[in-house]
Amino acid sequence: MLDSDPVAIGRPSPVDGRALWRIARDSAVLDLNSSYAYLLWTRDFADTTTVARGAAGPIGFVSGYRRPDAPDALMVWQVAVAEPHRGRGLARAMLDELVGRVRPRFLETTIAPANGASVRLFASLARAHGVGLARSALFTPELFPDEHEAEQLHRLGPWPE
């Protein structure tokens, strides 16, 4: 759970793009997109993205989008919390806010098998909301043009309508 420092969780705006890029870069585990991509994300996908703001600005974010071929599915692309704010339950709080706001039937994300923290995060989200969780292979290493672990699809749901 969140500690006593005030944190507001809500939609991003383009003024958040710079901070989101820095948080992703400093995570040392996320695939870093261009700074321009984070600006576009905060404008074009603000409805399916959330940001946690502390007193000094953004301290975490969850980026997502509705899949064009499955609009009832929210695809969570990146989850990041700035290092000094980890361990406070922010990632889960942002996901809870996003699910409550977007109200998807299904939530999907991909996770490399070695990323135990993310595997546990999404398993706890499924348990807390009383929805199913199915895992399947999605992107194998040979599909990537560079050195990259496999990405497993984690599909949560269905959430009640």
Q: Per-residue confidence at 1, pLDDT binned at 50, 70, 90?
A: very low
Query: What sign results for the dihedral spanned by CA atoms 96, 97, 99, 100?
Result: positive
Query: Which pLDDT score, from 0 to 100, does residue 140 have?
Result: 87
Helix (H) or strand (E) holding 63: strand 57-67
| pLDDT tens for each residue of 91-120 | 999 999 999 999 999 999 999 988 999 999
pLDDT averaged over every residue in the chain = 94
| pLDDT tens for each residue of 11-25 | 999 999 999 999 999
3-state secondary structure of 147: coil
- d(CA 101, CA 37) in angstroms, rounded, equals 23
| pLDDT tens for each residue of 143-161 | 889 888 889 999 999 998 8
Closest by CA to 107, choosing from 65, 68, 138, 136, is 65
So where are the chain's domains?
8-157
User: Phi and psi (nearest 5°) for 50?
Assistant: -135, 155
- d(CA 78, CA 153) in angstroms, rounded, equals 13
The overall pTM is greater than 0.75? yes
- Do 42 and 12 meet the contact criterion of CB atoms below 8 Å apart? yes
| pLDDT tens for each residue of 25-36 | 999 888 899 999
12: cis peptide before it, omega within 30°?
no
> How crowded is the C-beta side of 91, counted as CA atoms within 13 Å?
20
Query: Which pLDDT score, from 0 to 100, does residue 96 have?
Result: 97
Helix (H) or strand (E) holding 101: helix 90-102
* Position 149, amino acid: E
- d(CA 127, CA 131) in angstroms, rounded, equals 6
Query: Which pLDDT score, from 0 to 100, does residue 125 have?
Result: 97
| pLDDT tens for each residue of 53-105 | 999 999 999 999 999 999 999 999 999 999 999 999 999 999 999 999 999 99
What is the CATH superfamily name and number for domain 8-157? Gcn5-related N-acetyltransferase (GNAT) (3.40.630.30)
